[in-house]
Amino acid sequence: MREIRFRDALREAMQEEMRRDELVFLMGEEVAEYNGAYKVSQGMLDEFGEKRVIDTPISELGFAGIATGAAINGVRPIVEFMTWNFAVLAFDQIVNGAAKIHSMSGGQFSCPIVFRGPSGSAGQLGASHSQAFESWMANTPGLKVVSPSNPYDAKGLLKSAIRDADPVVFMESEMMYSDLGEVPEEEYIIPIGKADVVRTGKDITIVSFNKMMKVAKESADALAKEGIEAEVIDLRTIRPLDFPTIVESVKKTNRLIIIDESWPFGGISSEISFQIQKHAFDYLDAPIKRINGADANMHYAPNLVDAYLPSVKKVVEASKAALYV
């Protein structure tokens, strides 16, 4: 099977859906003339023209509002944010507009829209450019939240998101755009709401998503060298979250590690911990371990960036503590 980069998988998803449905269009800062801040939309202006690949002013609240109104009126916008840190300015339209219009209209209006762009840390970018927004968005009823970790999932899930009748928040990572992965040339989609067991094991379950899946897989490799078989689950979708897959894994391994780069207070790892204690408490042989980013703002210094984020060392130590409790 061919290998392509993460950015190319996203582009293919958008191109295929725009060829399939003339109501789909892309808008955002620098998506057209500049071919995208991360070159995700490279060549799309040439193929689809300026009416379907639209450069916007630097006004996230403004173009998110235009796109939300357009979606309510029957078209299917894809909104690219240069970073979800900038999308904070558009939260009113996403949270109070797109997420609520279906219920507030008594089902008279739908809002088929995709808001996408990079989330989380990307090296030395400082506190206001390094925040992970999955838990922020997942806290809002009416939004679906997708956070893929590889090119194959990115393409299949983005195609599903574009076809969805509800607003979908699609989280990427600046640090994954150049990642290579196997992606078939033929048509495929991945359903929203289904996790992926990427590695089977019997001793401990490791759950993560987005670029922290790299830490999860490397941790499983390190544990395997010591004879510990970790089962690794890629959530892929944050809302709806596939709790049954995690529950079944924990019933088998009796231990759980959750890797989530966002803050520990009120985050995704907290919700998973609660749900597992609710549905699989009697199967746990050790306390659930959460490996989060620090409960602080990200700093610029590289040594503090490393100290802030989850690491293989932290995951291996937590796994051993759970196994030998």
The C-alpha atoms of residue 300 and residue 177 are separated, in whole angstroms, by: 22
DSSP secondary structure code for residue 299 in this structure:
P
The C-alpha atoms of residue 307 and residue 91 are separated, in whole angstroms, by: 30
Q: Which amino acid is at 259?
A: I
Residue 87, token pair as written in the block: 């999308």
Q: Which residue has the tokens 């998503």?
A: 209
- Active-site residue identified among 12, 17, 29, 129: 129
- Active-site residue identified among 60, 134, 172, 271: 60
Helix crossing, 268-280 with 243-253: angle to 10°? 60
Known catalytic membership, residue 129: yes
Residue closest to 134 by CA, chosen among 241, 257, 289, 243: 241
C-alpha Rg value of the chain to the nearest Å: 20
Q: In this structure, what are the phi and psi dihedrals at residue 124, rounded to the nearest 5 degrees?
A: -85, 75
The C-alpha atoms of residue 116 and residue 133 are separated, in whole angstroms, by: 12
Instruction: Specify whether the CB–CB gap between 172 and 10 falls below 8 A.
Output: yes
Cite the active site residues: 60, 129
